[in-house]
Structure 1
Amino acid sequence: MSYRGTQSEASQSLSNTNIDHGTFLELILLISKFDPILKSHLDHVTKNAPKNSSNDDECKKVGRGSFIMKRIIAEEVKESEMYSIQIDTTQDIKVEDQCSIIIQNVNDSVNERLIGVSNVISSTGKSMFELVSNILMENGIDIKYCIGSATDGASNMQGQYQGFSKFLSDASPGQIHVWCHAHLLNLVMIDATSKTMECTIFFGLLNSCAVFIKDSYKRMNLWKEIGTETNRRLVNANDTRWWSKDAAVRSIFGRFGSPGGNQNDEGLYGILVTTLKHISSSHSIKNDIKCNARSLMKHLLSYKTVITAQLYLRLFEHTTPLSKYLQTNGMDILKSQRMVNTTIKDLETICRDFKEVKKAADNFLVWANKKSDELETNEVIVNGFLSEDSVRKRKRKRMFDEILEDQPFDDPEEKFKINVHNHVIDTVIMTLKERFSKYESLFADFSILDPKNFKDTDQTISHKAFERLSHLIMRFDSNATANSLRLEFFDFKSKWPKLCQKVPSDYNIDYENDSDQSDNDMSDLQLNKQSCKKT
C-alpha cells in the first residue's frame, strides 16, 4: 500500500477533509473516528506540526537523509578499499525498468547495502555499465576497486564482447563475474523444456489446461464437484517461477513411476480428464468451449503426452533438489558445486535408459485407466505410439553425385527415444557443464577460507590455491604473496578453536573450594616472605 498521496501527505494538513491524503493516511483517518487513542495522537501531531512546512520541504528532508546515508556508505567502502556489486532489474507498476545496485564490502563486519535505484533507458551491456559507473561516481566510489559482480545470466550481462561483465572487466581488471546459480539452473531447464516441438507442445498443454479450468467459475465448480476428496489446483508452468514446471507436471501426473502415491502426491490426471469430459458433453456450455475441452482431452489421452511427462518427472527428480539447495540461505559454495557435479553424473547414468521411462509410462497407463473406471469417464489411453504409416514420408531432394541418404526412423518409439528423450537429457548435461564449470576451481579455492572446512584442510593443500588468491589480492596489497597467505591461513586455523569460543552467560563459583584455595595461596605467600627475610 502506497504511503504517499498526491500532494497533501504533510501532517499539518490532516485536519483538512477536502483534500486527498493518500490511501494509507485516509485509512488512518477513518480508523481514528472509532479509536479515541489514535484520534488523540493525530490531533496532537496536527497541532504541533510546523505551519510553514510544505510537500517540497518534506522531499528535501528525505533527500538530505538519503545523501547522508550514501555518504556514510561511500566512506565505509573507501575504508575497506575493495568491494563487489550486485545488480538486477525489475519492472515497476508504471512498466518502467528499474535497476537496483547493491554494494558489498567488509570492514569489521560484512555489509550489504542498497546504493541506488535508477530507471533503465537501454538494457544493452554498455548502457548498464555506464548506468552503474555513473551512480558509483556520484557517490565518490572508484570503480577500479570493484573485485566482483553478481548478475543474472542474461546475454546483456555475461556477453563475451558486448556484455556488462566485459565492460566492467575493462575498467577493473581481475574482477570476477558470478551468476546466481539458481538462475543458471533455471536457464538450463528453460533450454531443456523448449528444445523440441514435443516439449513445447507438452508444457503448452499443461498451461492451457490450468488456464482453461481457472478461467470460469462454472468450470472451477465442476472441478471441485468431481475432485471432492482434494483441494488441490493445477499449476501454471512459468519460466520465471523456478519451481513451477516441476509442480505443474507433478500436479497432473504424480511422481515418476508411482502416480498414485499418497493423497497429497497423487496425480490429478483422472480428475482433469473427467472434468474435460463433462465440459465437452454439456448442453449448457458454448460450442467453442466444448471444442477446446475436447481438444485438450484428446492431447492428454495421447501416449506421447504420458511418456513425455514421465521423462520430465524423472529429470526433475534430479534437478529440483539441486534448485532448492541453491536457493537456501548460507549456502556452501563448495558443496553446491559438488551437488552440480553429482547431478551431472546421475544424469549421465540415466541418459540412455529409455526403458525405465517407458516402463513408468506403462505403469501410469494402468493407473490412469483404472482411475477412469472409478470416475466412470470411459476414456482410455492407447498403450503405445500411434503408427505413422498413414503419414506421407517426406523425401529429401538428392544431388546427382550424392551417395549417402538420410535414414528416417520408421519406428515412432525409436524416433521419440532419439529425438526427444536423448536430446532433452543431453541438452541438460551439456548446458550444466557449460554454465557451472567456469569458476569451479575458484570456488574450491575460496571454500578453504570457510571455518566449516578447516577440519578438511591440512599442510598438503595445493599451493596453487594460494597462488590464485594471491593473484587477485596483489593489486591491493603487495605483501599478499602465496607464501604469506599460506602462513597466515594456517596460523588463523590453529587459533580458530579459541577465537570461536563464546563468552559464558553466567559463572558458577564454588566459594568453599575458592576459600580453601585462597588460604593455600596465603600460606604460600607467607612462606615466600619468610624465605626472603632469611636471605
Structure 2
Amino acid sequence: MERYFTKEHRAGVNIKDLPKDPRLQTRITNYSPNDQRAAFNIEDLPTDPGLRPRITNYSPNDQDQVRRAYLLAGLCQPRDHAFPQKIFGNKLRRFNKDWFGLYSSWLEYSVSKDSAYCLCCYLFKPDIGDQAGGDSFVGEGFSNWKKNDRLQSHVGGSNSAHNQAVAKCQDLLKQKQHIQTVFEKQAKQDEDDYLIRLNAAIDCIRFLLRQGIAFRGHDESENSSNRGNYLELLKFLADHNDEVKAVAFGNAPQNVKLTSPDVQQDIVTAAARETLKVIVEEIGDALFSILVDEAHDISVKEQMAVVVRYIDKKGNVIERFVGIEHVSSTSAISLKEAVEKLFSILGLSISKLRGQGYDGASNMQGEFNGLKALILKDNPSAYYVWCFAHQLQLALVAVAKNHEDIAMMFFVTNNVVNVVGASSKRRDILRGKHAAKVVEALNVGELASGQGLNQETNLKRPGDTRWGSHYGTLVSLITMFEAVIDVLEIVRMEGPKGDQRTMARMLLGSMQSFEFAFTLHLMRTILAITSELSHALQRQDQDIVNAISLVELSKKQLQHMRDEG
C-alpha cells in the first residue's frame, strides 16, 4: 500500500519526487515523523536491519502489516559475506557466522553497519530502558565482538523482554489468532448475514410488486396484529426458513433490519431500473413505436403514461409500460419535453421511432401544434395512428348523445343501477329474487342447467370513459329485469319517503315502456358487436392491417342489422 503526502506534512515531501537511485537516497530518519508514517511500500521495505526506520515511525494502522512482512521475509543473515575485522585490544575480531546457527530465531547482521540486530526486539521491543541490552540490538546494533556473551544475555530469562517479543512474533504469525483475522472473519459473517437478509427482502418485494399488492400497513408497530403486507410476508418467510430467521428482525443489527419504508422504496426503485434496463436491452437497435395517454391521478396531478411497442427477436409483438411522467400541463410542448426526457433516461433514440399512437384530443393529434406534429418534425418516419378503440368509443358516445330515445335509455339505466345498488340490503334482495326466478325457470325447463351456467350475478356499474363496460350493464339488466322490477316496487312502497320513492316510481314507468325495452335490446345487440371489436382492437399483438379488416367486418354486421334486422 502506498500513502501520499498532504500540505499538512511538515517536510512537504512528495512520494513521486523520491529518488530512485540508492546513491541519491537519504536516510529515512531525515524525514519528519509525519512523512515517515505517511509513505511506505511493503515491497520496498529495507532488508538491511541497519537501514530500517523505527517500527514506531510507521503509522499505528500500518505497524502490524510491516511486522508481518518482515517475519514472512525472514532474517537478514548474509552467511557468505566477508565479515570485516576490527581491533579489540591487541586482537583482530569479527562477526562469527556460526552465531547464526546458535541464535537462528532472532539474530540478524547489518552489512552497512557491521553490527548484529534482533529482529524480534526490533518489531516488538517495549520501551524499558537498559533492560535486555537497552538499544544495542535494535537501534545502533551490537558490534563488540569481544563480548559475544552479550548475545546470550540478550535472550535472558523466560519472561525477559526479548522472549516476550519472540512470543508476540509467534502470535502475529498465527493468522487465526490475529485480531485482523478476527475482524475479517466477523466482517465476512456480517456480509453473509446481510446478503441472506437482503435476498429475503428482495424476494418479498418482488412478490408484492408482481401481484400489485400494497406494502405498508396502518399500524406497523411491533405490538400490531397486522403490520402490513411487506412486514407480514417477511415474517412468514422467516418463520418458515431458519436461515432467514437467524438474521432477520430481532436477530439483525438495529441499522440494517431492511424493514424501513426508505429501504423498501430503494429496493422498489432498483427493481424498476433493472426492469427498464432489460426492456431497453431487449429493444436494442430495433425500431419501435410509442403509445401515450395523459390523465390526472387521485392527487389531481397530470400524469403521462408511456408504452413502447416493438418486435422481439422471436417475431412477437411486445408492449411494455416504461413509465409515468408528471407534466406541468397537457400542452403538446410539455408532453413532447416529457417524452424526450424519458427517452434520454432510457437511452432510446427518437430516430428509431416509427409509430405514434394517441387518442383524438387536439393536443395529441393536432395537425400543426399537436404532439404528433412536433414529433413528425424531428422524425418524419414516426407515423401517427389514431387509436381505433378511442374512435369507436367516440362514435358510441355521439350516438348516445344525439339520439333522444337512446340517451333516455342510458339515463334510466344509470339511475336504476344507482337506486337498486344504493345499499347492501337492496343488492341482497335483488340477488335473492333473481335466484328464485332462476330456480323457477329451471323447474319449468325455460333454462338449461350445466357447469358454468346460471351463475350468481348482479347489476354492473358502467364506466364513464369505457363504453365497452356499458354492454355488461345492459346484459345484466336484461338478465335480471324481473328481479329489478320487484326491487323497484319494494322501494316505491317501502323506501324512504321523498326522492327515493319518486325516483323508483319514475324508473318503473320508464322501464316498462315499449320504447325503453326496444332501445335496451337494440343497444345490447349493437354493443355486442362493438364490444367484441373493442376488445380485438386492444390486443397487444394486433396490427393495423388486421384492425382495418375488423372494423370493416363490424361495419358490415351493423349494416346487415340495419337492412335485415
Number of the residue aligned with 2:394: 187
Q: State the match for 2:437 in structure 1.
A: 229
Change (3 A) 1:349 1:108: closer
The 3-state SS of whatever aligns with 1:123 is: coil
Which residue among 271, 276, 284 is the counterpart of 2:483? 271
What displacement does 1:280 show?
Answer: 1.3
Q: How does 1:152-163 map to 2 (within 5 A)?
A: 152-163=359-370
Which residue pairs with 1:316 in the alignment?
527
CA 1:93–1:27: 2 relative to 1, 3 Å = farther
Contact 1:79 1:107 in 2 (8 A): no
Q: What SS does structure 1 have at the residue aligned with 2:377?
A: helix
Residues 1:79 and 2:285 are matched in the alignment: yes
Instruction: Indicate the residue corresponding to 2:293 in structure 1.
Output: 88
Q: Relative CO higher for 1 or 2, CA cutoff 8 Å, sep ≥ 6?
A: 1
Q: Is the 8 A contact 2:353 2:381 kept in 1?
A: no
Instruction: Name 1:462's counterpart in structure 2.
Output: none
For structure 1, the residue ranges without an aligned partner over 5 or more in a row are 10-15, 254-266, 357-535
Question: Per-residue CA shift, 1:458-485, capped at 9, x if unaligned?
Answer: xxxxxxxxxxxxxxxxxxxxxxxxxxxx
SS of equivalent to 1:238? coil
Match of 1:396 in 2: none
TM-score, length-normalised on structure 2? 0.50
Which string of whole-angstrom CA distances, capped at 9 and with x for unpartnered residues, describes residues 311-337 of structure 1? 323423432332343344544643432
Deviation, 1:215, is 0.6
Counterpart check, 1:151 vs 2:363: no
Residues 2 and 22 in structure 1, CA contact (< 8 A), matched pair in contact too = no
With over 3 angstroms needed to count, the CA separation of the structure-2 counterparts of 1:331 and 1:70, relative to structure 1, is closer
- Which secondary structure state, in structure 2, belongs to the residue aligned with residue 100 of structure 1? strand
C-alpha change, 1:102 and 1:280, in structure 2 (3 Å) is: closer
**Relative to structure 1, is the Cα distance of residues 93 and 24 closer, same or farther in structure 2, using a 3 angstrom cutoff?**
farther
For each residue in 1:137-191, what CA deviation from the matched residue of structure 2 results, as whole angstroms up to 9, or x when unmatched? 3444332331112233444322223322121111211211224433332232222
1:44 counterpart SS class: coil
- The amino acid of 1:79's aligned partner reads D
- Return the TM-score normalized by structure 1: 0.52
Q: 1:79 to 1:310 in 2, by over 3 A?
A: closer
Contact 2:306 2:323 in 1 (8 A): yes
Q: Structure 1 residues 235, 122: CA separation in 2 closer, same or farther (over 3 Å shift)?
A: same
- The answer as to 2:446 corresponding to 1:240 is no
- Matched residues in 2 for 1:175 and 1:222: separation? 56
1:356-375 equivalences under 5 Å are: none
Amino acid at match of 2:470: K
Structure 2, unpaired ranges of 5+:
1-212, 439-455
The structure-2 alpha-carbon separation of the partners of 1:140 and 1:196, relative to structure 1 and needing over 3 Å to count, comes to same
Partner of 2:248: 45
Say whether residues 1:201 and 2:413 are aligned partners.
no
2:289 aligned counterpart, secondary structure: strand
Q: Residues 344 and 232 from structure 1, CA distance in 2 versus in 1: closer, same or farther, beyond 3 angstroms?
A: same
Q: Work out the CA distance in 2 between the residues paired with 1:150 and 1:322.
A: 18
1:51-450 matches, cutoff 5 A: 51=255, 77=283, 79-80=285-286, 82-89=287-294, 91-106=296-311, 108-109=313-314, 112-227=319-434, 228-230=436-438, 231-253=456-478, 267-282=479-494, 285-328=496-539, 330-331=541-542, 333-351=544-562
The residue identity in structure 1 corresponding to 2:493 is S
Matching residue's letter, 2:534: S
Q: How many residues align?
A: 330
CA contact (8 A) 2:319 2:540 kept: no
Contact kept in structure 1, 2:431 and 2:457, CA below 8 Å? no
Residues 87, 102 of structure 1: 8 Å contact kept? yes
In structure 2, the CA distance between the partners of 1:220 and 1:61, relative to structure 1 (3 Å rule), is: closer
CA distance in 2, matches of 1:303, 1:326: 34
Report the CA distance shift for 1:108/1:298 in structure 2 as closer, same or farther (over 3 A).
Answer: closer
- For residues 407 and 509 of structure 2, what CA distance do their matches in structure 1 show? 17
TM-superposed deviation, 1:45: 3.3
Question: Can you list the C-alpha shifts for 1:196-239, whole angstroms capped at 9, x where unaligned?
Answer: 33322210110110111111233234324433234332222334
One-letter amino acid of the structure 1 residue matched with residue 476 of structure 2: S
| % identity of equivalent residues | 23
**For 1:99, what is the secondary structure of its paired residue?**
strand
Q: 1:84 to 1:62 in 2, by over 3 A?
A: same
Residue 203 of structure 1 contacts residue 237 of structure 1 at CA under 8 Å; is this kept in 2?
no
Q: Spell out, residue by residue over 1:354-387, the C-alpha distance to the aligned partner (whole angstroms, 9 max, x if none).
A: xx5xxxxxxxxxxxxxxxxxxxxxxxxxxxxxxx
CA deviations on 1:481-535 (whole Å, 9 max, x unpaired) are xxxxxxxxxxxxxxxxxxxxxxxxxxxxxxxxxxxxxxxxxxxxxxxxxxxxxxx
For 1:42, the aligned partner's letter is: K
- Report how far residue 347 of structure 1 moved: 2.7
Instruction: For 1:23, give the aligned amino acid.
Output: G
| 1:382-401 Cα deviation digits (max 9, x unpaired) | xxxxxxxxxxxxxxxxxxxx
- Is contact 2:248-2:257 (8 Å) kept? no
* Deviation sequence 1:20-62 (CA, Å, 0-9, x none): 9962234247757xx8425762342344669468866776676
CA contact (8 A) 2:332 2:369 kept: yes
RMSD of equivalent CA atoms: 3.8
